[in-house]
Amino acid sequence: MMGWCWRCGERDVNTTWCQKGCASEQKTVRGEDKGVHLIPLQTPRRLEGPHCSRKHLSRLLWHHRPHQQGIPLSGTRVEMSSSCLLVGGTGALLLLAWLYASSRRGVKVRVGRLSKLLIYPLKSARSISVDLAECRHMGLKHGELRDRHWMVVTEEGRMVIGVHEPRLVLVSLTCEGGQVCLSGPGMEELRLPLLQPHNPVLNCRVFGDNIQGQDCGEEAADWLTMFLGGGKAFRLVHFKPHMKTRKAAGQEKLFPQRQEVAYAYAAPLLVLSEASVADLSGKVGEELTAERFRPNIVISGCDAFEEDSWDELLIGKVRLQRVMSCPRCMSTTIDPETGVLNRKEPLRTLKGYRQCKPSERSIYKAAPLFGQFYIVKKTGQLQVGDDVYMVRY
């Protein structure tokens, strides 16, 4: 019987049945028994024997794949078996791939409702509440407004935040009709062009990192200097898309190296629940607002601090991945309605019951935790009223 050798591909007619009793055969090459299996070119015999199980044959086909050596299989019984195995194997692989993909999608568990979307165009200034926003890898965007893409700096380019100038939390920056609008208590609204391509680009410092910002002109500088007072001079800068971003991991090592931000501390998004704010308000004995803690996404319909356990969130088509808790500082003691820094509450109360685990002390030190930092795994649109799901794997 003529056959093809599994191993070397030679053709031989002097064959004998394999001692294992399977349908393959062995041949003698140059007078020496090599025990080499052959594929019969034509045989009506069915595959039989204890060693011709599906598992045995699939292993045989995989390890000796003669078709990869240029050996034709047409007209053979094994061609049919191989084709069946190939089709079956492909189907099995597709099934496994589908099962794996399904497991990676996880199980959705509704945890609440998106009750507020807050953008802070000007770092440390008043929030802008919107009903609809684009959720991008660097944070929320609504029209021309992008989260923390404007910043107040000193004449030397150093960032100015609420802890330095508490009245900054009273300043509102909006965009309308291609213009930037600055407003604040006791000040006339200032409007200036959004695009000022001929203005100089300043080198700035944000949390020890170097970054750039385009100067917004003398009118904005005079307005901020007058409003903040104290005999200091301030300027307004705007981060442009072509400018080099900062690495979030430069501030917090738990963030992936690929995560980029402009003037934000480290995270593109901060998530907080209404229940957590209410819980803290009860302990402080004063009604606090979510805006005091500067979240981007506020969630209702869940228990206090339930957000601590949401490793992955799905809101509409947007997927968010939790990175770490938000360590709190003195800025929480600034009243967003008056711009007064009291240096005590609610930070003192938070320190009393929102400390990290001992194993996390190297990350958070003695800072209390309130809210969660997230990165964006999948971009999309967010809308107030959207259901919020936790994804479990």
CATH number for the domain spanning 240: value is 2.40.33.20
Residue range 79-90: mean pLDDT, rounded: 59
**Statement to judge: residues 282 and 326 lie in one domain:** yes
Structural domain harbouring 13? 3-103
Asked whether residue 269 falls in the same domain as residue 319, the answer is: yes
Which pLDDT belongs to residue 268? Answer: 98
Which residue, 68, 103, 138, sits at the end of a domain?
Answer: 103
pLDDT confidence of 371, banded at 50, 70, 90? very high
The span from the CA of 120 to the CA of 227, in Å, is: 19
Which has more pLDDT, 21 or 212? Answer: 212
Describe the chain by its helix, strand, coil percentages, rounded to 5: 25, 35, 40
Nearest-angstrom CA–CA distance, 171 and 43: 89
Residues 98 and 115 grouped into a single domain: no
Cis ω on the peptide bond leading into residue 346 (within 30° of 0)? Answer: yes
Assess whether pLDDT exceeds 80 at residue 1. Answer: no
Please, which pLDDT band fits residue 132 given cuts at 50, 70 and 90? very high
**Which residue has better confidence, 133 or 37?**
133
Domain count, the chain: 2
Lowest-confidence pick of 71-75, 177-181, 199-203: 71-75
Compare 298 and 229 and report the one with higher pLDDT: 298
Same domain, 99 and 114: no
Q: Where does the pLDDT of residue 83 fall: very low under 50, low under 70, confident under 90, or very high at 90 and above?
A: low
User: Please, what is the end-to-end C-alpha distance for the chain in angstroms?
Assistant: 56
**Secondary structure letter of residue 292 according to DSSP:** G
Query: pLDDT class for 51, splitting at 50, 70, 90?
Result: very low
Q: Which residue among 81, 103, 125 closes a domain?
A: 103
Same domain for 87 and 123?
no
Q: Are residues 215 and 336 in the same domain?
A: yes
pLDDT tens digits along 188-213:
999 999 999 999 999 999 999 999 99
Least confident of 70-79, 170-179, 342-351, 374-383: 70-79
Cα–Cα distance measured from residue 165 to residue 171, given in angstroms and rounded to the nearest whole number = 11
Does residue 237 share a domain with residue 146? yes
- pLDDT band for 54, please (50, 70, 90 cuts): very low
- Give the pLDDT band (50/70/90) at residue 92: confident
Phi first, then psi, for residue 284 (nearest 5°) are -80, -30
- H/E segment holding residue 88: helix 77-105
Neighbours of 293 (CB within 10 A): 22
- Regarding whether 142 and 98 lie in a shared domain, the answer is no
pLDDT band of residue 138 (cuts 50, 70, 90) is very high
- Which of residues 357 and 86 earns the better pLDDT score? 357
Pairwise pLDDT comparison (94 vs 66), residue with the higher score: 94
**What pLDDT, on a 0 to 100 scale, did the predictor assign at position 97?**
74
Q: Grade residue 35 by pLDDT with cuts at 50, 70 and 90.
A: very low
Shared domain check, 366 and 253: yes
Considering the domain architecture, whether residues 151 and 95 belong to the same structural domain is answered as: no
- Per-chain mean pLDDT for the chain: 84
User: Could you tell me if 324 and 185 lie in one domain?
Assistant: yes
Tokens describing residue 52: 């011709």
pLDDT (tens digit per residue) in 292-346: 999 999 999 999 999 999 999 999 999 999 999 999 999 999 999 999 999 999 9
CB 118, CB 163: distance < 8 Å: no
Whether residues 99 and 156 share a domain: the answer is: no
Q: Is the pLDDT of residue 267 over 70?
A: yes
Least confident range of 14-28, 91-105, 252-266, 368-382? 14-28
pLDDT value at residue 393: 86
Q: Which of 49, 72, 103 is the last residue of a domain?
A: 103
